[in-house]
Amino acid sequence: MEKPRLGHIHFLNVLPITYSLTQCGYGEGIDIKGGVPSVMNNDLINNRLDASEVSSIVYARNFDKLLILPDLCVRADGPVRSIILVSKKPITEINQDRIVLTAQSATSHVLLKIILNKSYDATPEYCVRHLTPDNPVPDDCTAALLIGDDALNVYHHKNKDKFYYYDMGVEWKKLTGRCMVYAVWAVHKDFAQNNPEALQLLHERLYKGLRHGYAHKADAINSILDSKPFTFQQLDEYLEVIKWNLTEEYLDNLMIFYKYAYEMGLIPRMPKLKLAEVEL
């Protein structure tokens, strides 16, 4: 059996899986490629990967050729800390301003557009650029959307004299009252059909690796602590905010997100949720 090709996003929100895959043997027999969400999204869609964690909106745009791996996602109920709008003015005053979006993601772009339109009746001009925590809002923009470790850095090192900060998980909860599913693990339908053993291997390693990594959370945090601008406590708290199980309730929440996206023309059609068949 050829090694299945798995995309893996090296963000802190999946640190338990990263730890298990890279340091505890759960990646054995798997060809793992790491990168930011936008790269993994593109590589999966273009058949350079068999399976990957992807932005949840990517599944919606490609549901005809992808399946969701069961009981795996990245979600948060309210504050997420790692999707942050940094603004020079209060969010209630944003209207036709220019907002720059990080080039690293896809779901966060759609989420922000939904929130600004539905909650604040705003119609900003959007552009996409590379952003850094050191200079989060370019001079020619009113606000910037950061994600992942960059956003978590901004969250813990706020310059409240200069900027306003808005957690998109909090804003989504205010709008819908629901938990937000930011990412799922998806697999190509053809791969799943033609490689049932490899599919089962991938799912078992991810599912069990997540639980192993979380059970050894302190070791996982300590393994990367020297290379990150965070304290142990900050990362420990963050990994309590993020959840990874995907139940029927959270699939329903995902469809609410897709419904808003479809109504705003951000996806061409309403997707159907189809899960890969694996033994749990």
Residue 57 pLDDT more than 70? yes
pLDDT digit string, tens, across residues 8-17 = 998 999 999 9
> 2.40.30.170, 3.40.190.10, 3.20.20.70, 2.40.50.140: which CATH number matches 5-75+180-263?
3.40.190.10
Angle formed by the axes of helices 217-224 and 196-215, nearest 10°? 90
* pLDDT band at 269; cut points 50, 70, 90: very high
pLDDT above 90 covers what percent of the chain?
Answer: 91
- The residue extents of the domains of the chain are 5-75+180-263, 83-176
pLDDT digit string, tens, across residues 162-190 = 999 999 999 999 999 999 999 999 999 99
Q: Would the CATH topology of 5-75+180-263 be identical to that of 83-176?
A: yes
Q: Which of 145, 155, 174 is nearest to 241 (CA)?
A: 155
Task: Report the distance separating Cα 265 and Cα 41, nearest Å.
Answer: 20
Across the range 38-54, mean pLDDT stands at: 94
Across the range 126-131, mean pLDDT stands at: 91
Q: Which fold has domain 83-176?
A: D-Maltodextrin-Binding Protein; domain 2 (3.40.190)
**Cut 0.85: pTM above it:** yes
Residue 144 gets which letter from DSSP?
Answer: E
Angle formed by the axes of helices 248-263 and 107-120, nearest 10°? 70
